[in-house]
Structure 1
């Protein structure tokens, strides 16, 4: 599906997506649809609510011409996220009608600049068109091949094209992340994830180093290795580097993604229903790989290094057990109370590595870490634990641009007491209460007072159904927010 900034005659396309606000009732509406809109609104069959669609079909000399009236709601309430959702619905309707060439009439907005409007339209339609059908024999290709955005003011054409170029790279990076999450665990295991990261690095322009078990042992990543040793698949430490600001090499943003390509729960085994989708337990890894792709392809003037400690959490005679006391790269000891709280054990070594060996200035870790975050925030919002309010504000600003919602959770000292062990430095679970907070704070004990954000994407990295521009399966959560955070750092 290709996008173009171009005005066309109606004879050149099959369908027109015509946006209308709730209050539109004749003004600024072209004559070809004005009377129809007035009649529809008078009959309450189309009000212009955000995401509402009404299809008008007209017969020309040689074909049918479709006009999809697309509601955008009230002008003062319009958001980029509302645009994404509305246009994803319009794209689905166009596919249902088997349209091939579509024109999209641009709308005016004093609230949202032309670049943000273009980006939101593109994201809604491209990401809404995504489907993971790699393993389906009889694939059904999308009918929509070309989309033309028309009625762009002459002075805005260059801005619109810049927006298209940027958002094309960003959505491609999100799709890379979605594809990684959607791959089954028998195909995508640590070695294969490392290969995919290398391939994406070559395509998008960032450096990738892969370290195997011997190097991981040499580094002293004991906590990571304890989780990995129950599997016959060898662990991999994936290190990705992008240096776009050579004059400030000491200022480096560090990204750490949870890379459990499969999580059985270990000896604290999950029920079958809980294991089925555990191929998605590397959603954090997919997010940082996708973010590195967009950051490097856009050649942002900033420095970013990402690390993924990838392994499987399985059961065997070698697997670690509840009650074990294990060490870590930082030298701190952990009492293992639950082997299904394994992600945080891999993350603490990855966090320590990225600080000690890659010398990052700030750290963000992303992980499908706790079921508790779903209970607290559902599947629409990412829970955040942080030690730095200013850094969190950067995340909030990036979140507003991406539309990916975040919410800061408290990190009071009382919560930290819950992860203290009587027989080791820490225990890997803090009990039933405040599970997302204590999991985050456990990782926070290893960040050495660096500005740090922990993003629990267990609720947002996977969608159980098609929902707007989020298709069923992996969502690529975090990619766009990380990109905008990195971009804002260099502007």
Structure 2
């Protein structure tokens, strides 16, 4: 025991394991200063623990946890995160043996199983989001995304309506269709409704960017920049995962999720730089750059959602700009809003989820950068302040100025390298935040 003490530090992140072949096996975790602990630190350290035990082929263990319910939840989430992988295309993949985890805590057994059930639902919905975003565009395109949404969500009580290209034309979704018209894989407009609180007039809307593959169109991306464009529907993955979680938990709330799914490809029928296109709102859009396509699809999605569906609050989630990645890296989601009270409530939900968000400034000087000489608005405000001008482009299509939040997840939805308890690839970012918000 003395030797073990010398090797182990109680500093946060310290891990010492004693795993003899035929004796009592023990692992010690350093949690550091109790006053500095947080739920996110618990997620991280228990992720590290599970990875260590899996690497050592130890698949059954007992955890000794405090009676703090939020810390227990966070620890369980960390353990779940350690089990995720996207290896469906590996021919030599090996199925991870089932983990058996016994928990020793002072909380009542009934309460523990309630906690476990919620964490399981949370993580299954995050993993659904990750699987969608990690999937390759050869297999996930507008039609298959719509079909998966209908299959998964119908099972948990969500009403899913799918509109094909002809129906979208009849609905007046002209801007959205302009982006998708060059692809042989035709667009789908997906509306998902979970209305479980008839006593409330509050209806939240989550609008996710659903560009299942983005070449940049005639403003063609370099080849290296296209390699991960299967993740350009990260916003769609988030809203599908979020409404799946909300419905799975039978939350007493009203939520509508909307995804305009298309591919931004190149052909003789592509929309072009210099074009002026119409939108559902009646406003015209000058196309300066066909690689700024996501905001064009969101123009119709946001207007349809806020005007036709009569929602009371709206959040759009999109892998929208490289400018956001330059500003905030893969660590913080960039955000702008037209309603500070709504944003403050959202921020509390994000902090609770351990999902980091940074609010950007809004000013008429940024809005003026989107002004067009030939149309009502142009689809890029230029190089400077690009994350903000992209969000403020979308603001033009929020009907009646209802409370709105824009989330740019270009950096946070798909990681180039592991971060904390997230592996490289899709993160399922903000599934949990949106759940916390309406819960």
Bin of the TM-score, shorter chain as denominator length: over 0.9
Normalized against structure 2, the TM-score is what? Answer: 0.97
- Would you say the 8 A contact 2:15–2:28 is kept in 1? yes
Match in the other structure for 1:364: 315
Matched, 1:390 2:390: no
- Would you say the 8 A contact 1:98–1:144 is kept in 2? no
Q: Show the 5 A alignment for 1:39-438.
A: 39-41=3-5, 43=6, 45-58=7-20, 63-107=22-66, 114-150=68-104, 152-153=105-106, 155-248=107-200, 250-438=201-389
Residue 429 of structure 1 aligns to a residue whose secondary structure is coil
Q: How far apart in 1 are the matches of 2:164 and 2:290?
A: 23
Superposed displacement of residue 58, structure 1? 4.0
Superposed displacement of residue 163, structure 1? 1.4
Superposed displacement of residue 52, structure 1? 1.8
- Would you say the 8 A contact 2:66–2:72 is kept in 1? no
Superposed displacement of residue 453, structure 1? 0.2
Q: How far apart in 1 are the matches of 2:349 and 2:23?
A: 43
- Would you say the 8 A contact 1:123–1:171 is kept in 2? yes
Q: How far apart in 2 are the matches of 1:203 and 1:78?
A: 38
Q: List alignment gaps of at least 5 residues for structure 1.
A: 1-34, 109-113
Superposed CA deviations along residues 100-125 of structure 1, whole A, max 9, x for unmatched, are 211111135xxxxx221121011111
Matched, 1:458 2:410: yes
Q: How far apart in 1 are the matches of 2:300 and 2:396?
A: 11
Superposed displacement of residue 396, structure 1? 0.8
Residue 225 of structure 1 aligns to a residue whose secondary structure is helix
Match in the other structure for 1:10: none
Residue 25 of structure 2 aligns to a residue whose secondary structure is strand
Residue 419 of structure 1 aligns to a residue whose secondary structure is coil
Q: How far apart in 2 are the matches of 1:83 and 1:205?
A: 33
Q: How far apart in 1 are the matches of 2:98 and 2:324?
A: 37
- Would you say the 8 A contact 1:99–1:143 is kept in 2? no
Q: How far apart in 2 are the matches of 1:49 and 1:324?
A: 59
Q: How far apart in 1 are the matches of 2:349 and 2:184?
A: 40
CA RMSD of aligned residues (A): 1.3
- Would you say the 8 A contact 1:95–1:143 is kept in 2? no
Q: How far apart in 1 are the matches of 2:316 and 2:386?
A: 17
Superposed displacement of residue 284, structure 1? 0.2
Superposed CA deviations along residues 111-143 of structure 1, whole A, max 9, x for unmatched, are xxx221121011111112100011111112224
- Would you say the 8 A contact 1:367–1:456 is kept in 2? yes
Q: How far apart in 2 are the matches of 1:50 and 1:221?
A: 52
Residue 247 of structure 1 aligns to a residue whose secondary structure is coil
- Would you say the 8 A contact 1:116–1:163 is kept in 2? no
Q: How far apart in 1 are the matches of 2:134 and 2:215?
A: 17
Residue 288 of structure 2 aligns to a residue whose secondary structure is coil
Superposed displacement of residue 149, structure 1? 1.1
- Would you say the 8 A contact 1:253–1:304 is kept in 2? yes
Residue 366 of structure 1 aligns to a residue whose secondary structure is strand
- Would you say the 8 A contact 2:350–2:430 is kept in 1? no
Q: How far apart in 2 are the matches of 1:193 and 1:309?
A: 10
Superposed displacement of residue 202, structure 1? 2.2
Superposed displacement of residue 40, structure 1? 4.4
Residue 308 of structure 1 aligns to a residue whose secondary structure is strand
Q: How far apart in 2 are the matches of 1:217 and 1:346?
A: 14
Larger radius of gyration: 1
Q: How far apart in 2 are the matches of 1:171 and 1:246?
A: 28
Superposed displacement of residue 66, structure 1? 2.2
